Amino acid sequence: MNARSQLRKEIRQRRNALSVTEQSNAAIALTKRLSSHSQLLLAKRIAIYLSNDGELSTDNFISWCWQNNKEVYLPVVHPFSKGNLLFLHYQQDTELVSNRYGILEPKLDVTLVCPLEQLDIICTPLVAFDNSGARLGMGGGFYDRSLAHWQQNKTYPLGLAHDCQLVDTVPVEGWDIPLPEIITPSKNYRFI
């Protein structure tokens, strides 16, 4: 098993070992951090994900977005363009379906797609990160492809993670897109 796969396995086990109380407290702390973040306060369109596999819960923050008239968008695995994501408008009554990875996503409706360049913020999941902003995802490269031109699009990527997902070094590949900022329940890490 290579270093990236081993690290993925180790950190996924670490975050899945968090108790229900630890997960709940982390979600509350994350929402406090996000709801006071200057760029999120100014943002109109925020892409975020529904938590899966021990990821830091985004449910509280999504509710905050709705209460504060922010448009929320969720990733959908692109049906025709392999390895890419679409971002669909998500509301309280949006029908969700399981994708091929068992992750809930909005039922595809092309009228609800928001082009990447029209999103203000993309909150990305991750498995591990380090103090340089390197992010290790699940290995499909979906977010790396989506974030490849974030600086030209002016769509700000923001990684979300549990504190226990910080590691000394993430082994990076040429296609990995480093993040300018990662937020955990206890700290904002800024890299630019």
Q: Report the pLDDT value the prediction gives residue 141, as an integer from 0 to 100.
A: 67
**Is 1 labelled a binding residue?**
no
**Is 83 labelled a binding residue?**
no
Are the C-beta atoms of residues 35 and 43 closer than 8 Å to each other?
no
**Is 7 labelled a binding residue?**
yes
Domain ranges of the chain: 3-190
DSSP 57-111: P-HHHHHHHHHTT-EEEEEEE-SSSTT-EEEEEE-TT--EEE-TTS-EEEPP-GG
**Is 140 labelled a binding residue?**
yes
Q: Report the pLDDT value the prediction gives residue 124, as an integer from 0 to 100.
A: 92
**Is 8 labelled a binding residue?**
yes
Query: 139: Cβ–Cβ under 8 A, 6 or more apart, which residues?
Result: 4, 5, 8
**Is 136 labelled a binding residue?**
yes
**Is 13 labelled a binding residue?**
no
**Backbone torsions φ then ψ of 180, nearest 5 degrees:** -75, -20
- Hey, CA dihedral for 57, 102, 9, 19, is it positive or negative? positive
**Is 181 labelled a binding residue?**
no
Q: Report the pLDDT value the prediction gives residue 21, as an integer from 0 to 100.
A: 96
**Is 22 labelled a binding residue?**
no
**Is 88 labelled a binding residue?**
no
Q: Tell me which residues of the chain have a pLDDT lower than 50.
A: none
**Is 137 labelled a binding residue?**
yes
Q: Report the pLDDT value the prediction gives residue 20, as an integer from 0 to 100.
A: 95
pLDDT tens string 81-114: 777 888 999 999 999 998 888 888 899 888 999 9
**Is 55 labelled a binding residue?**
yes
**Is 179 labelled a binding residue?**
no
CATH class of 3-190: alpha beta
